[in-house]
């Protein structure tokens, strides 16, 4: 496996958003950003030894919050997987488990995906069934993308929301760690219609407030400092509307251009690939 280059592929609004990142220097370098249609039959032409990661739709991810006490006699990751698997009524081999463990090791965010979904995603994106491909939640990739490639956010506790035609992907970040993820369906919402957008924003505020209240029970009691929006579909008027419901401060996500290689088109909006970039973070 080529450990020097990784590829992240986000399946978004019937297209593939592809990012390639080189890891052979002091800091990662983005060498390719490309938007392409989902292939119908042919396979995607990537070298078989590349690290490739696909995004898993938020609605297909089961989230578990855990507060397992660290114990040197047990691997915490294995304990997290055991806790998640014990709640399932099916064969655990039908699932893939991921666990985000906080630096303090006192909080764990468990993620459960069906393996059949992973096979379907590989087929949908044109990968051969034998190719070794990893899959990660879109919301986790969104947070990782901003933490690793975004302009520095000074706020200690903030929310990040990515708006697409069909869903709003949400990630809550505390001290540069992902502490929660969520989603809202936007299937019947026109983001260019102010009434539709306002209704969606009210839902977003309600959901984020609910998640913040749950995190307070886990010891994160700081108020939300800001909301960062990532979307080409939200215009200036939309941002102004969001600010009415989030007085804490609303801004757009921004990629640190120092990560972009010389071959990246300067006219391209790299923020469109924030999730794809997050998929390359290990």
Residue 41 lies in a domain: no
Q: Domain of 205?
A: 153-253
Alpha-carbon Rg for the chain, nearest whole angstrom, is: 19
Query: What residues form DSSP beta bridges with 19?
Result: 8, 33
Residue 197 has pLDDT above 90, yes or no: yes
Q: How far apart (Å, rounded) are the C-alpha atoms in residues 269 and 55?
A: 20
| pLDDT value, residue 149 | 96
| Structure-token pair, residue 37 | 């249609």
Residue 276 has pLDDT above 90, yes or no: yes
CA–CA distance from 241 to each of 80, 198, 212, 257, 259 (Å)?
Answer: 40, 7, 22, 28, 32
Total of domains in the chain: 2
Residue 9 lies in a domain: no
pLDDT higher for 259 or 188? 259
Q: Model's pTM, two decimal places?
A: 0.92
The 10s digit of each residue's pLDDT in 65-100 is 998 887 766 788 888 999 999 988 899 999 999 999
pLDDT higher for 114 or 49? 114
Using a 10 angstrom Cβ sphere, with 0-12 exposed, 13-18 middle and 19 or more buried, the burial of residue 237 is exposed
Residue 95 lies in a domain: yes
CATH of the domain at 78: 3.30.1490
Residue 98 lies in a domain: yes
Residue 198 lies in a domain: yes
Residue 179 lies in a domain: yes
CATH of the domain at 178: 3.30.420.40
The 10s digit of each residue's pLDDT in 168-185 is 999 999 999 999 999 999
């Amino acid at each position: 496996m080529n450990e020097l280059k990784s590829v992240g592929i986000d399946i978004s609004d019937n297209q593939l958003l592809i990012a390639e990142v080189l890891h052979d220097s002091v800091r990662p370098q983005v060498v390719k950003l490309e938007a392409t249609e989902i292939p119908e039959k042919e396979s995607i032409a990537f070298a078989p030894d590349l690290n490739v990661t696909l995004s898993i739709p938020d609605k297909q991810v089961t989230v578990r919050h855990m507060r397992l006490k660290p114990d040197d006699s047990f691997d915490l990751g294995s304990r997290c997987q055991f806790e998640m698997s014990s709640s399932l009524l099916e064969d655990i081999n039908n699932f893939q488990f991921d666990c985000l463990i906080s630096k303090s090791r006192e909080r764990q965010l468990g993620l459960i995906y069906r393996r059949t979904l992973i096979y379907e995603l590989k087929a949908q994106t044109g990968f051969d069934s034998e190719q070794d491909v990893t899959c990660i939640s879109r919301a986790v990739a969104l947070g990782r993308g901003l933490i690793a490639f975004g302009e520095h956010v000074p706020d200690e506790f903030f929310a990040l929301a990515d708006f697409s035609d069909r869903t709003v992907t949400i990630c809550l970040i505390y001290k540069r760690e992902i502490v929660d993820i969520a989603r809202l369906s936007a299937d019947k919402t026109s983001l260019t219609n102010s009434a539709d957008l306002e209704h969606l924003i009210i839902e977003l505020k309600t959901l984020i407030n609910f998640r913040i209240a749950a995190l307070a029970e886990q010891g994160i009691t700081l108020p939300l400092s800001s909301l960062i929006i990532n979307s080409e579909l939200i215009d200036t008027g939309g941002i102004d509307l969001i600010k009415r419901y989030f007085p804490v401060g609303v801004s757009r996500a921004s990629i640190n251009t120092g990560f972009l290689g010389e071959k990246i088109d300067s006219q391209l909006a790299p923020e469109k690939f924030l999730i794809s970039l997050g998929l390359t973070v290990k």
